[in-house]
Structure formats: C-alpha cells, structure tokens
Amino acid sequence: MSRSFSLLTSAFLLGTLTLSACGGRPPQPRIAPAPNPTLAIVRANLWDGTGRAVVSNAVTLVRAGRIVCAGAAGECLVPPGARIIDAHGKWLIPGLIDSHVHLLFLTHGSAGEDLSLDLRNLLAQGITTVRDMGTNPAELLSRVNTLSMTPRVYAMQLVAGRRFFFNGFRGTRTARGTVYRQPPAMTMQSLGWTPMLYTSDTDPDSVVEAARSAGAMGLKLYAQLDVESVRELTQAAHRVGMPVWGHAWVQPASALEQLMSGQDGVVHAAGLAGELFSAGERDTLVDDGRLQVATADVATVGSAHDPRVLEALDSMARRGTIFEPTLDATYHSVAYFNAKRRHIPSEQEEYVRAASGFGIEVTREAVRRGVRISAGSDHVAYGPAIERATLIGELRLLVDSVALTPRAALLAATRDAARAIGGEPGRRLGTIVAGHYADLVLLNKNPLEDIDNLDSIEWVMKAGRIWRPGQLRSGIAMR
C-alpha cells in the first residue's frame, strides 16, 4: 500500500470517527410531506338532516369515506393542504335513501348489465342507499359487490307461511274456463327470489340464522302468517339485533296485530284495508285468493277514517313503528290504466284505483297522528323506466298529495329512512354529522323551497367518492 493511499484512508476513518463521536451523520435526502387526505367542501348551504336549521357558508370535512366535521366555518377549521371544493351558493344535503326497492329479476331483466344500469341511474338521482325488500340476498349482494358505481345495498329476507308455498293448485271457474293459480312462492322463485317457509313446526331462530347467513340484514314478513308466527319471528330476529318489517296486512295477521307483536315497521298504505275485516274474514280471504277484490270493495277515501284504521295508526305513533306508504307505485299503476287506449274493466284496475285514493288518505291520517314516515318507492329494476316508481316521485306525492313540507319529505328520505333500515347501517346513514358515512348530494337549487329542486344535482358523493350524474348514466366513469 502506498503512503499517499494510507494517509487518505486514515483521514477518512478519522473523519468518520469524529462525526460519530460528535453525534453527526451524513445529510439525508429531503422527503416531501404526504398530501393532506382531507376534502373540504366550503361555502355551501348545509342542510344536515338532523333537524337543525340550514347553516350558511358551511364547511364540511371528509376523510377516508367519513364525515370529520360539518358546520359553520368557525366550527370546522380547514386543515392546511386539504383539497377544497368551493360550493358557494349551492345546497349540500345527505345522500337520499330509498327504503323499498326490488332489484333482482333473473328471468325478465336485472340479472347482469340491466342491474348495473339501474343502480347507476339510482346513484345519479342522488340515492346513495337502498333497501331491497324482496330478493335472493346472497345472489343480489354477490352481483352488487362486483360493481363499482352503486348505492349501498341492504337486503331483507322474505318469510311467508305454508299457504304461500302450497295452495293445492285449486282452480277458479271463469267465463273462459277454469283458471289454475300456482302458489305465489313459485312465481317469486321463478324471478330468482328465495322466500323462506315458516310454519308452527319451524324453529324461528333457525330462520333468522339462515337469513343472516344469506347476507340479509332483517326480515320482511310477507304473507300467510298468523299473529303467533309474527310474534315468534319478531322476537327471534330482535334477539340478534335484526329489524323486522311486514306488509300492512300479512294475511291473516292485520297491521295492528303485527304492531302489537313488536314489528319495527309496516309497508304499503293500501294494506291498512285489512283492518276493515275481522280475523275470521281475513283468514277466509287467504284461502280463496280474492285479496285484491276484497280490498277494492272496502278501500275508499271515507273508510280511511274508520276507527279501526285510526286505531292501528295511533298504535304506530305510540310505539314508534315506522310507516312506509309506497304511494308512487300505486300512482304509476293508475297512470298505466289511464293511458290505455282501449278500456276493458278488470279486477286489477279496480284494486289500484281504490288502493291509490285510500292509501293517500291513510297516509294523511298517519302524518296527522305523528307516525314516522320512511320514503320507500317500491321501485323495480326492470321494464320501461317511465313505468317504474321512483323516490323522487314518492317525495312529490308526499308533498303534493299528503301535504308534507319539502323539509319533512326530505327527512323521510334521509334521517327517518336510515332509522327504518336500522341496525348498524342505520346509525351511520341519513345525516351529515361526524363519524357518519360521507354520502352527500350537492344541489344547485334549494330543495326546501321546492322538492322538484332535487333534480338539480351537481354531484353525488358516496363514501367520499364523487360522481356527476352524466358520468353515471353514460358509464364514462367506468372507463
């Protein structure tokens, strides 16, 4: 080794030892700080769905798909580096909830791309959450989970009694001969739905467990269930924290009998016509399959004020049972018959005309008595779009025909619809407060002045991700 190389090596080692002794270290590369992940929506008019007044010039902070803060500029400070959306003059509201839809139709529609289109269109309308009230939960949820642009989808499990599955294929004589009606369960199963059978010999806990295993978050009691069956199923579901809803008349159990059994909610205002029949009459109507004819015979604007109907509504108000009228579906059925060029009277037409007027009047009485309303449309994901019930249509009827204020109608599609869904999801939806899901809609016009202003959507946010309606409907956001 040369002397010069030895001196250089010694100097390097000496310098290294000196730096170590002095606690120094070679300079490190400068690393830029990570961008702030917070999104700040500023200067909007905030209607948070809690019941408090509109907050002008509001700040709403979103991070990791949740609301961090929402309120006045002095309440919510924008952190340095946050991404800012200036929503000056616009209206920020919670994502809308349709608490009654039917999405899965394996035979005639939404089995693949049709389902995707329908879900994207729902999201484009500002609907960030839906509850499917009749389906095959496992099949529906597995399909939804493969899609990227959908509302949150929660599924209920249909449960019905023996006569829903086995009616003996009895025939009914008509002018054209004998008509044989297959059991309703077979019709549902042909759509890909999976109603569950419940009889007096069935363990209610096993039904609840099977529903949970399929992905259902609650039970919907559908038909041919007596009072004892309703009570057993409701208690079993409540033991594991699952909500229970039912038709307003599950044949033979009436709405009032369902309420007394502890059900969380009832659907279809027209079903309150069941209160106008005795228990024995309801049981007979199950046998002969003439429910629609019987309803058309008794459901009038006047009978909506019958003491038996009012008693059921008063019980709902006292118990906090939620009522889902589904007025828009009946309205669309009436419009269908009005539009027909050739008018041929039918039992179906008589039923829907009676059910529409009766249902609206029953809903007015429910509101007068303080019953909590959830906005469920009974939307179906097949057929011409113009013939489908919609959440916006339901809200318009609640305002125009039932005389709710736009604010009350919006609560029925946000805060109160979240309560209708219930469970853990219901505690994270429906209002813009810290900790809730960042499901939001930004509107260009004030929906509290005119419910039709819900059509003025600038963008929709689900879990912190923003889409514009045109992107969703065209599918451009998929590319």
What number of other Cβ atoms are within 10 A of residue 91's Cβ? Answer: 23
Residue of 266, 298, 268 lying closest to 282 (CA atoms): 298
Asked if the model's pLDDT at residue 399 lies above 70, the reply is yes
* Average of per-residue pLDDT across 424-445: 97
Asked if the model's pLDDT at residue 9 lies above 50, the reply is no
* Cα separation, 350 vs 232, whole angstroms: 35
pLDDT in tens, 210-264: 999 999 999 999 999 999 999 999 999 999 999 999 998 888 999 999 999 999 9
Predicted local distance difference test score (pLDDT) of residue 20: 45
479 — pLDDT class (breaks 50, 70, 90): very low
Decide the pairing of beta strands 152-160 and 196-197: parallel
* Average of per-residue pLDDT across 380-393: 87
Predicted local distance difference test score (pLDDT) of residue 398: 98
Residue of 173, 171, 190 lying closest to 181 (CA atoms): 171
Asked if the model's pLDDT at residue 33 lies above 90, the reply is no
**Could you tell me the maximum CA-CA distance found in the chain, to the nearest angstrom?**
122
Helix (H) or strand (E) holding 255: helix 255-260
Q: How far apart, in Å, are the Cα atoms of 25 and each of 9, 19, 20? A: 19, 6, 7
| CATH match for 97-429 among 3.10.20.30, 3.40.50.300, 3.20.20.140, 3.40.50.2300 | 3.20.20.140
For tokens 């809609």, the residue is 441
Q: Hey, where are the domains in the chain?
A: 97-429
pLDDT in tens, 65-112: 999 999 999 899 999 999 999 999 999 999 999 999 999 887 554 455
198 and 226 in contact (C-beta within 8 Å)?
no
For 344-358, b/e burial (b = at least 16 CB within 10 A) is: eeeeebbbbbbbbbb
Predicted local distance difference test score (pLDDT) of residue 198: 97
The residue ranking higher by pLDDT, 295 or 476, is 295
Predicted local distance difference test score (pLDDT) of residue 168: 54
* Cα separation, 254 vs 271, whole angstroms: 9
Predicted local distance difference test score (pLDDT) of residue 346: 84
pLDDT in tens, 171-198: 444 444 444 467 788 888 888 899 999 9
Helix axes 279-288, 291-298, angle to 10 degrees: 130
412 and 98 in contact (C-beta within 8 Å)?
no
Evaluate if pTM is beyond 0.75.
Answer: yes
Predicted local distance difference test score (pLDDT) of residue 30: 63
The count of C-alpha atoms lying within 13 angstroms of the C-alpha of 137, restricted to the half-sphere facing its C-beta, is: 21
Predicted local distance difference test score (pLDDT) of residue 35: 65
Predicted local distance difference test score (pLDDT) of residue 4: 44
Predicted local distance difference test score (pLDDT) of residue 3: 46
Asked if the model's pLDDT at residue 50 lies above 50, the reply is yes
